[in-house]
Amino acid sequence: MKLPRVHPLLFLITGLVWLMLASVIGVALFLAMMLGHSLPAVLRHFHVHGALVGGAVQVIVGMMLAGRERSNSHPVLFAAINVGTIGMLAGFLGGHAATVAVAGLLVLLALLSLLGEALRLVRTSILSPPFHLGFFGLAFLALLVGLGMGEAMALRLIPYEAIGQARLAHLHPTVLGFVTLTIVGAMHNLFPTIVNARLNNLLLAKLTFACLPAGIVLLMAGFLLTQPAVQIVAGLVILTGTLLYAANIGRTWIKAGRPRTAVSDHLTQGTVFLVICVVTGLLVELNYLWPTPNMQSFVPFGKLHLIAYTHLALVGFMLHTAFGALSYLLPITLAVERAPSNKRRGPYLEELTQIVEQWRPVQVGALSLGTVGLVLVATLVWQFNLGSLPVHLATWASIGLLVLSLTLFAGKVGLLLTSRPPQ
């Protein structure tokens, strides 16, 4: 029986839906914590795994397949990612570790099936293949390590005393190793295309491709060996690669005439937040190593501060990047699919672009300020308690800004999908 064709656009839209659902759950969890209420702990798994596996990873898959002509594997791939994500969440809800492990394995196999497609895209890159091939190869290897560690935890193969290290070895290869490396690698091709300019410096790109994987490998070794000094060195190497990447993207944007579009604004803001997140992570590690008389961290660092730090990456970097990529890919994909003639495609693409650009400063600014607001809330609790007026005002302001940006973007996607080319 011939399987139905699943267009790459469906991966992008479904990934966006997962991101939105995970964001709503995240808002609920944050407000409940700030207001002193308790929600089921399983919602944290829904928030994290829905955002990363169902959302970020699926958007990356959609971007990879957007220019692919053959689509025979799309139904199986689409079903594997989404059924696997739902299976993991169901396993967490019911407390069935075996279900989580089987569902995670399904997602892992689905993503590994894309390795050949990733290498095909690399060979058409504007960068030299040796560096680019190794970069994406290590990204997929990091995915294998991160999901493999998740499988080991789900099957109770990790001793209880090593669970903390195992979580670090699960989260960092998946988020920093796969998602971040894939985004950084893709941006070297995507961003120059978006701003219609050459990449500023190929040498900086090659140095980025050397520093980031080396730093991530060193960081994993530091976690597994419980060597803080190795982790600090790894953080400095990662920071160097991140600064080189940000400088390259920034100079490319400047040479292009500093364009101000929804796509370029989201992508450049995401790059800035990546740098901020890496710097913050390095400071967090140094904070734990700072000598104090009672052998505690130099600056108090609790659950709320961890949330603020991680969401610099999850919201500031990844969500900005996802919004930017979707703002670019959705209009082009819809114009090509719905307006086969060039005469109709141009006006239709212009109409779709106008939809994307509506309320651009509000959408981009609210997402950035809302992310910074989470950091502000975490900072305020060093001086005020959770029930104080300043903390509550900062909490509601940051949540309101984030919800505003998410609502605006979701509304635009709805308008894009329901619009039709002029007759």
The pLDDT value recorded for residue 113 is: 78
Please tell me the distance from the alpha carbon of residue 31 to that of residue 402, in angstroms, as a whole number. 13
Residue with tokens 């894309």: 114
Please tell me the distance from the alpha carbon of residue 58 to that of residue 16, in angstroms, as a whole number. 9
What amino acid is encoded at 382 in this protein? W
pLDDT exceeds 70 at position 51: yes
What amino acid is encoded at 386 in this protein? L
How many Cβ atoms from other residues are within 10 Å of residue 121's Cβ?
Answer: 20
Assigned token pair, 266: 């989201």
Of 368, 375, 372, 366, nearest in space to 306 by CA: 375
List Cβ neighbours of 284 (8 Å cut-off, separation of 6 or more).
301, 309
List Cβ neighbours of 44 (8 Å cut-off, separation of 6 or more).
29
Assigned token pair, 109: 């196999």
Residue 197's Cβ-count burial label (10 Å; 0-12, 13-18, 19+) is: middle
Please tell me the distance from the alpha carbon of residue 406 to that of residue 411, in angstroms, as a whole number. 9
The pLDDT value recorded for residue 71 is: 45
The pLDDT value recorded for residue 1 is: 45
Q: What is the pLDDT of residues 241-283, one digit of tens each?
A: 999 999 999 999 999 999 999 999 999 999 999 999 999 988 8
With helix as H, strand as E and coil as C, how does 325-388 read? HHHHHHHHHHHHHHCCCHHHHHHHHHHHHHHHHCCHHHHHHHHHHHHHHHHHHHHHCCCCCCCC
Please tell me the distance from the alpha carbon of residue 152 to that of residue 158, in angstroms, as a whole number. 6
* Listed ranges 145-149, 157-161, 360-364; the one with the highest mean pLDDT: 360-364
pLDDT exceeds 60 at position 239: yes
What amino acid is encoded at 78 in this protein? F
CB 86 within 8 A of CB 58: no
Residue 383's SS3 state is: coil
DSSP H helical ranges for 180-261:
181-195, 202-225, 228-255
- Please state, for a pLDDT cut of 70, what percent of the chain lies above it: 90
pLDDT exceeds 50 at position 188: yes
More confident residue, 73 or 62: 62
The pLDDT value recorded for residue 346 is: 85
Average pLDDT, whole number, for the chain? 84
Of 103, 61, 99, 101, nearest in space to 84 by CA: 103
Assigned token pair, 199: 């990449």
Please tell me the distance from the alpha carbon of residue 307 to that of residue 97, in angstroms, as a whole number. 25
Residue with tokens 């960081």: 219
List Cβ neighbours of 246 (8 Å cut-off, separation of 6 or more).
271, 272, 274, 275
More confident residue, 118 or 258: 258
Residue with tokens 């997602």: 107
pLDDT exceeds 80 at position 37: yes
pLDDT, average across residues 398-409 = 94
The pLDDT value recorded for residue 242 is: 95
* 121 band by pLDDT with thresholds 50, 70 and 90: low
pLDDT exceeds 60 at position 50: yes
pLDDT exceeds 50 at position 232: yes
How many Cβ atoms from other residues are within 10 Å of residue 416's Cβ?
Answer: 20
- Please state, for a pLDDT cut of 90, what percent of the chain lies above it: 33
pLDDT, average across residues 406-423 = 89
